[in-house]
């Protein structure tokens, strides 16, 4: 009975909170929120270190400065969605105190800047600290027991490479039969590595090692197992860190909890022999903006540490030309020794956040990321390939503070409808490459429209698991929502590409087009299709052969 009472109470509380978030989401003026996000990002970036100097004595001395950077990054990113939800409150109800789950020093800084910060912020931040403490204790348990449970493996070769946060769609086909263009194939081409190179992919959702032939494996933890003596030494260090982390956290030194995970992993990594380290550790922006503390030791011992910014759509923008777009928190505090991005414009955007230009390189080949090997359909040309950005449900956006003023169901519908109608008028087949597979967070209007398109004989819905580069091989032209990467990738592959911005909401964002055409009306779409067809007639006709994946 008590369990049912608690369950009902918790359900009513959650539904009431969601209703409040939805009212905030619907009432907020998007431009005002973008402006407020921009202001909040600036305030937090200028707040300084979250703790006094000299309090990270539990870390090795040579890594304490790195520990301070890591602590600041984690305080910014661990509860970022909650901060975004809160920041819009006083735009709807001026004077409403904000529950900011951030350290005391930062809360006081925001109060000095004129924000009303609720006393509940302390409790909310305590929950963040508790989550971090639990994550650190889980790391102790995992690294202590994984060797005995067979969750760690000896690297497939002396020279091997590590992919952090990788899943099956980022890796080669285990059977070796399917062609995939993804993170693995990009990495191999970019660094000029031989085929079937040895790799370890880290994926926290894997229970047991999954092998990819004889040279690749996906595991829950990328660290190799220690020998018995080193393992015993690690256990002693880990217990000391865990007990100290719990005790000091109870005494109010919350930074012990926030950095417990990093401290435990650093302690383990320092015990690995240098010849057991990978040649390169590859992170990606979709998984981690925060640089783990153990990577500083990897770099000090000669291993490469790289973060791949595979997307060009991380540059923020707003449909309102009169305000600055929101800044992405934590980008300015990144400290990766090497970063690789899609193009010069992406590099310039990262440099604008204050990152050192010498650490950022541009990939000279198309930046593929995900491809699960799903087969390509057989289609006759001419084909225009559409790349969209999936609109989410209002409650999903409200619960995470994603009050995006552009990527809405209405904009998506106009993007698809205008192009489909224009393509029909000019005799083109439309192939829609959805960004993501169907899920419960997608906007209902999006789901209904997709079902209608599936009945249209002039439209083909491509499996979302097919990588962009491979999908483009069956296209004669590519059209993307602003300012996603596929149109740029198409141009790199010699295929005409453009953006379509229905209604011209982003006419002030020319710098983000990267020199690509950006169409805004149905008549401009007609002209674009006509010019492509005319050019084909005066050079060579569109291929009528069947493309088969």
| 199 found inside a domain | no
Statement: residue 339 has pLDDT above 90 = yes
Do 367 and 425 lie in one domain? The reply is: no
Query: Is there a single domain that holds both residue 160 and residue 307?
Result: yes
pLDDT tens digits, one per residue of 255-312: 999 999 999 999 999 999 999 999 999 999 888 889 999 999 999 999 999 999 888 7
SS3 518: strand
Q: 484-488: long-range contacts (C-beta < 8 A, 24 or more apart)?
A: 484/311, 484/312, 484/313, 484/387, 484/389, 484/435, 485/310, 485/311, 485/312, 485/313, 485/342, 485/367, 486/385, 486/387, 486/433, 487/387, 487/516, 488/312, 488/342, 488/343, 488/514, 488/516
My answer on whether 356 and 398 are in the same domain is: no
Asked if 338 and 443 sit in the same domain, the reply is no
Pick 337 or 511 by higher pLDDT. 337
Do 366 and 417 have their domain in common?
A: no
Is the CB of residue 434 less than 8 Å from the CB of residue 461? Answer: yes
What pTM, to 2 d.p., does this model score? 0.87
In a domain? residue 267: no
pLDDT above 70: residue 343 = yes
Question: Which domain covers residue 500, as residue numbers?
Answer: 383-538
512 and 415 in a single domain? The answer is yes
Per-residue pLDDT at 131 exceeds 90? yes
Q: Is 4 exposed, middle or buried (0-12, 13-18, 19+ CB in 10 A)?
A: exposed
Percent of the chain with pLDDT strictly greater than 70: 82
Minimum mean pLDDT among 58-62, 127-131, 179-183, 258-262: which range?
179-183
Q: pLDDT above 90 covers what percent of the chain?
A: 46
In a domain, 138, yes or no: no
Is residue 201 in some structural domain?
no
Q: Does 266 reside within a domain?
A: no
The whole-number average pLDDT for the span 380-409 is: 75
- Say what the pLDDT of residue 409 is: 85
Same domain? For 346 and 388 the reply is: no
pLDDT tens sequence across 132-142: 999 999 999 99
How many domains does the chain contain in total? 3
Rounded alpha-carbon distances, angstroms, from residue 153 to 166, 204, 265, 330, 417: 17, 14, 17, 33, 51
What SS3 state is found at 216? strand
The least confident of 237-246, 418-427, 431-440 is 431-440
Regarding beta strands 216-219 and 210-212, do their DSSP bridges make them parallel or antiparallel, or are they unpaired? Answer: antiparallel
């Amino acid at each position: 009975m008590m369990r049912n009472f608690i369950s009902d109470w918790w359900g009513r509380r959650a539904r009431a909170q969601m209703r409040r978030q939805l009212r905030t989401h619907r009432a907020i003026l998007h431009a005002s929120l973008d402006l407020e996000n921009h202001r909040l990002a600036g305030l937090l970036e200028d707040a300084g270190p979250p703790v006094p100097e000299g309090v990270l004595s539990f870390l090795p001395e040579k890594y304490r400065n790195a520990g301070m950077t890591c602590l600041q990054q984690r305080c910014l990113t661990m509860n970022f969605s909650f901060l975004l939800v809160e920041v819009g409150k006083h735009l709807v109800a001026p004077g409403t105190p904000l529950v900011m789950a951030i350290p005391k020093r930062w809360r006081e800084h925001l109060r000095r800047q004129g924000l009303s910060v609720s006393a509940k912020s302390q409790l909310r931040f305590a929950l963040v600290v508790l989550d971090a403490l639990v994550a650190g204790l889980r790391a102790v348990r995992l690294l202590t027991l994984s060797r005995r449970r067979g969750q760690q493996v000896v690297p497939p070769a002396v020279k091997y490479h590590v992919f952090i946060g990788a899943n099956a769609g980022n890796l080669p086909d285990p059977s070796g039969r399917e062609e995939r263009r993804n993170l693995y194939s990009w990495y191999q081409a970019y660094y000029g590595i031989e085929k079937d190179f040895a790799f370890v992919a880290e994926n926290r959702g894997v229970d047991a090692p999954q092998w990819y032939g004889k040279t690749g494996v996906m595991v829950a933890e990328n660290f190799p197992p220690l020998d018995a003596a080193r393992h015993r030494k690690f256990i002693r260090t880990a217990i000391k860190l865990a007990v100290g982390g719990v005790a000091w956290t109870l005494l109010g030194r919350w930074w012990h909890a926030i950095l417990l995970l990093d401290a435990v992993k650093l302690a383990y990594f320092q015990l690995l022999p240098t010849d057991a380290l990978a040649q390169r550790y590859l992170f990606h922006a979709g998984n981690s903006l925060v640089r783990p503390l153990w990577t500083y030791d990897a770099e000090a011992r000669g291993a490469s540490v790289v973060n791949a910014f595979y997307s060009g759509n991380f540059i923020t923008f707003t449909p309102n030309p009169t305000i600055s777009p929101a800044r992405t928190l934590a980008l300015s505090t990144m400290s990766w020794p090497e970063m690789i991005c899609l193009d010069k414009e992406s590099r310039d955007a990262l440099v604008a956040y204050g990152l050192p230009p010498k650490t950022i390189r541009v990939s000279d080949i198309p930046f593929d990321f995900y491809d699960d090997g799903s087969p390509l359909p057989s289609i006759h040309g001419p084909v225009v390939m559409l790349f969209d950005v999936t609109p989410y449900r209002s409650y999903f956006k409200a619960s995470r503070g994603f009050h995006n003023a552009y990527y809405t169901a209405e904009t998506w519908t106009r993007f698809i409808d205008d192009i489909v109608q224009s393509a029909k008028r000019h005799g083109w087949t439309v192939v829609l490459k959805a960004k993501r597979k169907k899920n419960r967070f997608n906007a209902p209007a999006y789901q209904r429209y997709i079902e209608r398109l599936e009945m249209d004989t002039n439209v083909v819905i491509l499996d979302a698991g097919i990588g962009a580069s491979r999908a483009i091989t069956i296209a004669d032209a590519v059209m993307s929502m602003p300012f996603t990467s596929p149109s740029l990738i198409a141009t790199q592959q010699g295929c005409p590409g453009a953006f379509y911005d229905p209604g011209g909401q982003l006419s002030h964002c020319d710098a983000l087009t990267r020199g690509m055409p950006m169409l805004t009306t149905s008549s401009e779409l007609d002209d674009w299709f006509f010019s492509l067809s005319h050019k084909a007639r005066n050079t060579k006709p569109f291929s009528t052969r069947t493309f088969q994946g």
